[in-house]
Amino acid sequence: MSKVEPFQAHHFDDVEQQHEASWLGMWVFLATEVMFFGGMFAGYFVYRHWYLQAFAAASNQLDVLLGGINTAVLICSSFTMALAVHSAETNKRKALIIFLVLTIVLGTVFLGIKFFEYHSKFEEHLVPGSAFAFPGPFERQAEIFFSFYFAMTGMHAVHMIIGIGLLTTLVLKAKRGRFSAAYHTPVELTGLYWHFVDIVWIFLFPLLYLLGRHL
């Protein structure tokens, strides 16, 4: 049996087994997340097929520039997250903290732009409900598009907020020197979560923002 490290929990044989359990557990959780978002994507595909014209017209009300900038911001944040994990793997505590903070900043920029977009949708009466108004013959169908838009980007934003919370605790722990090349599982798993949230947006951006551009 290998040497018992201080970070090894007593119910694991060794640190490798402990790491594998955490790693695979996170992947199981992410599979449930794929299902969670998958239900909304499936619903979106059905209504998009039925109400294609209305969906295209409604999609054109979204700001491609802001959506594109936000896509780039999220990709940058995934890059800084990957570099944070790399810093932990190579025992660079200062770099780890810097990259974690950068990831938090980029995530906050994303949410700020999202807030700005939501705000203008409220002003333009594009939020589903009694105040919803959409010119043209397909007002109710367009309302369904915006229901999907707010449900999907809203759940995505909730995941971002949770991710920023997780990253904040990582920064505090990293400052106390809790992570090393030998043990940085929380950094690694939060990275998986953050990249997953990035992947959700990678699909949301073309499906919501780019759908009707050529019409």
Partner 1 sequence: MKSEPHVSIRTYALVFLALLVLTGLTTAIAFLDLGGNINTMFALAIAVCKALLVILYFMHVRYSDKLTWVFAAAGFFWLLILIGGTMDDVLTRPQLSPSTASVPAQDYPR
Residue labelled with tokens 């959780």: 29
Fill in the per-residue mask, 126 to 145: x = in contact with partner 1 (CB under 8 A), - = not in contact: -----------xxxxx----
Structure tokens at 164: 């920023």
Structure tokens at 7: 């970070």
Q: How many whole angstroms separate alpha carbon 207 and alpha carbon 199?
A: 13
- Binding residues for partner 1 restricted to 68-87, rule: CB under 8 A: 68, 71-72, 75-76, 78-79, 81-83, 86
Query: Are the C-beta atoms of 90 and 126 separated by less than 8 Å?
Result: no
Query: Are the C-beta atoms of 58 and 142 separated by less than 8 Å?
Result: yes
Which residue among 10, 11, 49, 176 contacts partner 1 (CB under 8 A)?
49
**Cβ proximity to partner 1, 99 vs 164, nearer residue:** 99
- Nearest partner of 201 among 78, 80, 22, judged by Cα: 78
Structure tokens at 176: 């106390």
Shortest gap between Cβ of 210 and partner 1 (angstroms)?
A: 4
Catalogue the long-range contacts made by 3-9 (C-beta closer than 8 Å, 24 or more residues apart). Answer: 5/182, 5/183, 7/182, 7/183
**Cβ proximity to partner 1, 23 vs 172, nearer residue:** 23
C-beta atoms surrounding 89 within 10 Å: 16
- 158 binds partner 1 per the rule CB under 8 A: no
- 99 binds partner 1 per the rule CB under 8 A: no
Which residue among 38, 112, 154, 165 contacts partner 1 (CB under 8 A)?
38
- 114 binds partner 1 per the rule CB under 8 A: no
Site for partner 1, rule CB under 8 A: 15-16, 19, 23-24, 27-28, 30-35, 38-39, 41-42, 45-46, 49-52, 54, 64, 68, 71-72, 75-76, 78-79, 81-83, 86, 89-90, 137-141, 181-183, 191-192, 195-196, 198-199, 202-203, 205-207, 210-211, 213-215
